[in-house]
Amino acid sequence: MEPPAEVVHWMFGVGFLFLGLCLLAEAIVGRDVWSCRSWRAYLWPSVAFLMGILMWPVMVFYTSSAIHMLAHGAWAQTMMLAGMAQLGLVRGKLRNPLWELTLPLAFLVSGAAFLIHEQNPWLFSRAAFLHHALGWTGLIGGLICLGRAIRPHSPAFNAGFAFTIIVFAFFLFCDRNVAPIFGHLSPLAGGR
């Protein structure tokens, strides 16, 4: 009764898409307007934290190798850490702005985990291509988040962060269990 791996990716894609829309709206109206209502201020950190929690069952049920399991575990931990730190900052329990650095950390760790655990080249299969693309998106997103942590009111960094999340959602929706990428599918991945 477990959902297929590609279906799980699509479900996470919806979460990332909703997160991206919220962040884009926040970038457009500004953080002060977005935080006028407390439920809205808590919204995206809660979604990020929840997705971190949901990554644990993915790690338990869907990983077929140690490196794959470690990568999913790293994503779960860093997503939870970033979501929790943002919740603490919004609530006022955390006051040190250095907690903002948990977000770039989450992106940089996630990006590196994608690139390290994907052992195949870009055109091996669609999944391999997406792992590489997501890895580099994570690393670039980490740099954007770093800029956002330094200049929290910069519309460019806030919009860049939102678009990074939307790109993540796009890549997750593109995932299939076995599919070619630009006409390439290695025989080792199930191609002819």
Going by the DSSP 8-state scheme, the letter that residue 182 receives in this structure is T
How far apart (Å, rounded) are the C-alpha atoms in residues 165 and 156? Answer: 14
Binding part of the chain for another protein, among 31-39, 73-81, 97-105, 117-125 by CB under 8 A, reads: 31-39
Nearer to another protein, 33 or 67 (CB): 33
> Other CB atoms closer than 10 Å to residue 32's CB: what's the count?
8
Give the residue, chosen from 56, 62, 163, 173, that forms a contact with another protein under the rule CB under 8 A: 173
Distance CA 11, CA 35 (A): 27
DSSP helix, strand, coil percent of the chain (3-state; round to 5)? 80, 0, 20
DSSP secondary-structure letter at 2? P
Q: How many C-beta neighbours within 10 Å does residue 86 have? A: 22
28: contact with another protein by CB under 8 A: yes
Question: What's the closest the beta carbon of residue 30 comes to another protein, in angstroms?
Answer: 8
Q: Which is nearer to another protein, 21 or 139 (CB)?
A: 21
Nearer to another protein by C-beta: 65 or 177? Answer: 177
CB 160 within 8 A of CB 144: yes
| CB of residue 130 to another protein, shortest distance in Å | 14
Rounded to a whole number of angstroms, the minimum distance from the CB of residue 34 to another protein is 7
**Residues in 74-93 at the binding interface with another protein, rule: CB under 8 A:** none
- By CB under 8 A, is residue 18 in contact with another protein? yes
DSSP string, 85-118: HHHHHHHTS---GGGGGHHHHHHHHHHHHHHHH-
Residue in 24, 69, 94, 123 binding another protein, rule: CB under 8 A? 24
Collapsing DSSP states into helix, strand and coil, what is residue 4?
Answer: coil
Per CB under 8 A, the segment of 29-37, 45-53, 131-139, 140-148 that binds another protein is 29-37
Question: What's the Rg (C-alpha) of the chain?
Answer: 17
Q: Which stretch binds another protein (CB under 8 A): 20-28, 106-114, 137-145, 180-188?
A: 20-28
Residues that bind another protein (CB under 8 A): 1, 3-4, 7, 10-11, 13-14, 17-18, 21-22, 24-25, 28-29, 32-34, 36-37, 40, 43, 173
